[in-house]
Structure 1
Amino acid sequence: MSDLLLGRGQIVYKSRHALTYLFNIFTFVGTNPLGGQSYVYYSLYYLYSLLVNFVCCIFCPISFHIGYIKLLKVLNTNELLSAIQNAIQVSGIPIKIIVIAWYMKRLQSVCEILDKLDENYKRAEDLNSIRRCVRSCCKIIAAFCVPYYSFELSTIAFGVYQNRAPLTIWLSYLDATRTSWEYWTHVGWDVFIMLFLLAHQLGSDTYPPVFISVIRLHMQLLVERVKRLGTNKALCREKRYAELLVCINTYGQILSIANIVAPVISITLFTQFATTATTVLNWFGNMKFPDNIIPMAFFSCQIMQILPCCYYASQLIADCEQLPYAIFHSDWLEEDRRYRKTVLFFLQHTQTPIRFSCLKLFGVTLATSISVS
């Protein structure tokens, strides 16, 4: 698995490899069973999935909210604000889980489209671009792991250091302040649920930049291919026209990937934008070191959840805007009437770049991310 991240062990990479780590995360959290397995595997996996997602979707949102309500008179202002923002964040996770699980088969179908797109590229330069994209997508997921699980480590360590439960959650029949075994049971439960909650967050927050990066890759490859249209005069007119049709078909396949990913991004990213606003709560307090460690780790996670997706979406718009220029400046003036009419058709349908939005309320762009954060 580390070969994809380090770029070792393979000479030729496929675009679908950029999604390998992502689908492995979805498998870990119980929303993506591996194909071609036995009946026993599926039985055990669905039992595992039911347990994990029941805890993450139903039990955790309830226990987080009950926790700070029951301890309302005990917690100080900073602890209460932290508990409230954690509870609101956890309440948004079930929406993301349900949406991603609902669209999982459609997300998996992207791999088949990517295989068809890869068949068009045999040049060393194009294969190197695919290789760089695969490594970049794997690095995105690895980079997300650092602040996410740093937040878990800092939360657990700081809670144990202060001799209190790391998370302000409710557990029936357990009181962390009563006995030693109850306290450590509470700590162990906090570690367990944070592992899976952050894994869910990792999957739901990394799939937008990863998928958009793959779309950007093939848009850039298409632009370079369009620039070469008509330049090879050794080919007959029919073959040059066939190459133009292949480029149009490639553009349609790229649009189909965007149409598959767009509704998932629309709902999950809107949920993230809505819950991110609660992060500001902790920054109004007069917090000093070391009390500000956890809010700083939490804030860095919030930035990671929306900024990369918005950045890559803005870059995709810029890449799409290069395609009409590439079509116009390709060598089509000396071609026959059929070729020129097809070029005009292609040029007309590429005027609108690929854009993503959050429930059609606002666009997913870098400017939107900066205005919120």
Structure 2
Amino acid sequence: MLLRRIFPNMYKVPDSAPVESRKASLYLLRCVFLMGIRSPPKRFFFIYVLWSCALNLSSTFYQPIGFLAGYVSHLSQFTPSQFLTSLQVAFNAWSCSTKVIIVWILVKRFDRANEILDELDKVVTLPSERERVHRTAANSNWIFFCYMGVYVVYASSTALIAAIMGVPSFQNYYPVLDWHASRFQFWLQSGLEYFAMLGACFQDVCVDCYPVNYILPLRAHMAIFRERLLQLGTDPDEKPQQRYEKLIDCIKHHKILLSYCDNLRPLVGGTIFVQFLVVGLVLGFTIINIAVFANFGSRIAAMSFVCCIMLETTPFCTLCNYLADDCYRLADALFESNWIEQDERYKKIVLQFLQTLQKPIVFMAGNIFSISVATNLTATKFSFSVFTLVKQMNIAEKLAKSGSNIEY
């Protein structure tokens, strides 16, 4: 009950409640605001700017530099497991910073998407349709908090295991600080790294989960639209002109759905493309660490990291496949409607509309390749190529020998 009071939109509201598809991204957009990438509110202008600077300087901008500087300054002090743990997160941190910048530039498209959802909500009238939208909004918010939980568990488990082992999580470089010098500096660096990683996880949840939060209501409206197409021409009391006008309204409705997708394409294409570039490499380093170097505690942290990486692309790629199937169902629904008994003008419009519906909605990653389960599998399989290359070149054995020679 307490959770329901704090986060009421995680639960389905009664079917009689007004339809608000934008609530599917309610908590997402609140977190995007807390990322410090929206326009500062007038009432808390300086507080918001200070928070934005603190979070983005530590997580978006300095953390990728800190990883690189840490390798340059004390690479010889890493054990193989620590190095691979740091390296896998470093690549993901660089990709996360890039995705945050892309979302920062295009953040107003979230608002435009919600405005389009408001237009789509206007035609939702039946109780079953309202129930579908309400259920989708609640599920979308649940998914967002599931993402948040997985990412926070990874950051916290990594920090805890590193503290037990007596080393900072990733051994980033911080000017003036030397964690070997004293316990105070060790805990200060560990705290700074944990804050930066929590901030990065917070950002990563937003830039990885927003495609899911915005595609789920789209699929709900496409299912409702399919039912409208099936009902075309079935009312015996309608006049031919009324049926024609309903068909035209459906065409306009479909154009709104397409405009919603066009609005999201630059955002989705940029962030998913960046993630596809690094997912195989990051998973490859993680598999090597789990299979060769990691102890029990490090394996737990590495497995939670694998879950985070898979969440960055797999759910949305799966939804893209479902979205293509939804488009084919729309074409089938129009074909199954009562169009054969209509006049010639109606039939011509139906045939033209049918050709449009047969074109699936496809999101492209960087305008290079389509986002789908097949593409995700291809990118993921690269991790096994990385693992095979490392084994064939005996890099793991060389790292193990160099790690055994490190003196503490």
TM-score scaled by length of structure 1: 0.94
Deviations along 1:29-51, whole A, 9 cap, x unmatched?
112347xx5x3423432343233
Conserved? CA contact 1:99–1:264, under 8 Å:
yes
Corresponding residue to 1:73 among 67, 73, 76: 76
Conserved? CA contact 2:136–2:216, under 8 Å:
yes
What CA distance in whole angstroms lies between the structure 2 residues aligned with 1:68 and 1:81? 11
> What SS does the corresponding residue of 1:232 show, helix, strand or coil?
coil
> What SS does the corresponding residue of 2:360 show, helix, strand or coil?
coil
Match of 1:120 in 2: 123
Q: In the TM superposition, what are the counterparts of 1:1-373 in structure 2 within 5 Å?
A: 2-8=7-13, 11-33=17-39, 37=41, 39-277=42-280, 278-285=282-289, 286=292, 287-373=294-380
Conserved? CA contact 2:150–2:308, under 8 Å:
yes
Name stretches of at least 5 consecutive residues in structure 2 with no aligned partner: 1-5, 381-408
What CA distance in whole angstroms lies between the structure 2 residues aligned with 1:237 and 1:282? 64
Conserved? CA contact 1:16–1:115, under 8 Å:
yes
Task: Measure how far apart 1:355 and its partner are.
Answer: 0.7
What CA distance in whole angstroms lies between the structure 2 residues aligned with 1:51 and 1:193? 10
> What SS does the corresponding residue of 1:331 show, helix, strand or coil?
coil
Amino acid at match of 1:20: L
Amino acid at match of 1:21: Y
Conserved? CA contact 1:78–1:282, under 8 Å:
no
Percent identity reads 26
Deviations along 1:46-104, whole A, 9 cap, x unmatched?
34323322332321111111113322111111111111121111111221112111111
> What SS does the corresponding residue of 2:77 show, helix, strand or coil?
coil
TM-score scaled by length of structure 2: 0.87
Task: Measure how far apart 1:24 and its partner are.
Answer: 0.9
Amino acid at match of 1:3: P
Amino acid at match of 1:123: L
> What SS does the corresponding residue of 1:230 show, helix, strand or coil?
coil
Bigger mean CA deviation after superposition, 349-358 or 3-12: 3-12
Task: Measure how far apart 1:236 and its partner are.
Answer: 2.3
Name stretches of at least 5 consecutive residues in structure 1 with no aligned partner: none
Conserved? CA contact 2:321–2:373, under 8 Å:
yes
Conserved? CA contact 2:19–2:124, under 8 Å:
no
What CA distance in whole angstroms lies between the structure 2 residues aligned with 1:207 and 1:171? 32
Amino acid at match of 1:322: R
> What SS does the corresponding residue of 2:296 show, helix, strand or coil?
coil
Amino acid at match of 2:29: F
